[in-house]
Copies of this chain bind each other. A is one copy, B any other.
Amino acid sequence: MMKPIIALYRDLKDEHKEKLQEMAPDHSVKVFHEVSEYDLDAVEIILGWNNEWDESILEKMPNLKWIQKETAGMNAINEKVRQSDKLLLSNMSGIHADSITQSVFAFILSHYRGFYQALKDQQESKWNQTYYDDLVQANERVLLIYGTGALGKQMAKIAKAFDMVTYGVNTSGREVEYFDKTVQSDQAETLIADADVIINTMPLTRDTRNLFDAKYFEAMKKEAIFINVGRGESVVEDDLIGALEDGEIASAYLDVTRIEPLPAESGLWQAPNLVITPHSSGAVEHFRDGVFGVFSENLAQYLKDGTLARNQYSYSKDY
């Protein structure tokens, strides 16, 4: 009888594959494309996902028990697979926390310290101090973060280092380290008008689709800034362009857009006081090391008692 297979959709470093094999001597660690079609029924664990797979994999791999995704979002996994109660599902949320947080603070600090004006002046060889008295510090400004998981928490931690005030939104309103206050999603509205910086870190769920629309931006302070590092579909882009053009909010940063790559004809490119990065805020140096870290931690727990140590996905909660 064949050993059950741990299939790596994308290859890992040799030293990491060897460690996984040592951890799981009763399993066989293989790169997915080396698994023959006749051996699919031996696949028990997959690290990674092919976006073209559909629910037929449940039949082709009847002994599949756990899918560990290599990225944070789970929407790319077929909905029937996500609903299956025979499967453990987990994602890589968290290994991007430092990267995304640093991208977000690159924007926040550049905005407060006048760098976007300075860069424009520099292109014209112009030493312009006219905005000197408008420059402010991040200190004591209020950050409202949608999502208090690994990413939101890292943002709140850095915000506290800058002496900012941190509010968080999560499903239960439970308290979370580094947050001065947290509220349940349906109470978030009460905090919009107090916030100086609003950051969406949430995956696309039924609740977050089109959450940030004209009405939302209208409720924000005129001096406030909006940041989306969650999913593009959470923002009504024409409404954001309008809010920036009308000065309803001071500025915005989008790392994600509804259509990616963002088409050259999108009005977002020319919107005033908007910075766009090409879904790169989460780019991680030493990415494969991070993937190995999460997967090996989960594998150790799985081999012990069949559960996962972290980053488990639940269809009912939709994250």
Contacts and interface: CB of A to CB of B under 8 A. Distances in A.
Given A110-B115, A113-B281, A262-B127, A137 B275 contact: no
Interface stretch (A3-11, A86-94, A96-104): A96-104
A102 B162 contact: yes
Interface string A272-297: 00011111110111000000000000
Contact of A283 (B107, B135, B279): B135
Given A105-B105, A127-B260, A278 B110 contact: no
A132 interface: yes
Most buried by B among A98, A265, A280: A280
B110 A106 contact: yes
Nearest to A123: B269
Nearest to A136: B285
Given A102-B137, A277-B115, A125 B264 contact: yes
Contacts of A303: none
Contacts of A126: 264
> How many copies of the chain does the oligomer comprise?
2
A137 B99 contact: yes
For chain A, what secondary structure do more than half of its interface residues adopt (helix, strand, loop), or is it mixed?
loop
B279 A102 contact: no
A143 interface: no
Nearest to A274: B122
A311 to B, nearest CB: 19
Nearest to A282: B135
Given A99-B137, A285-B136, A285-B137, A278 B129 contact: yes
Contacts of A137: 98-99, 102, 284-285
Interface string A138-174: 1100000000000000000110011100000000000
Given A260-B127, A280-B129, A99 B113 contact: yes
A111 to B, nearest CB: 8
A114 interface: yes
A12 interface: no
A172 B242 CA distance: 57
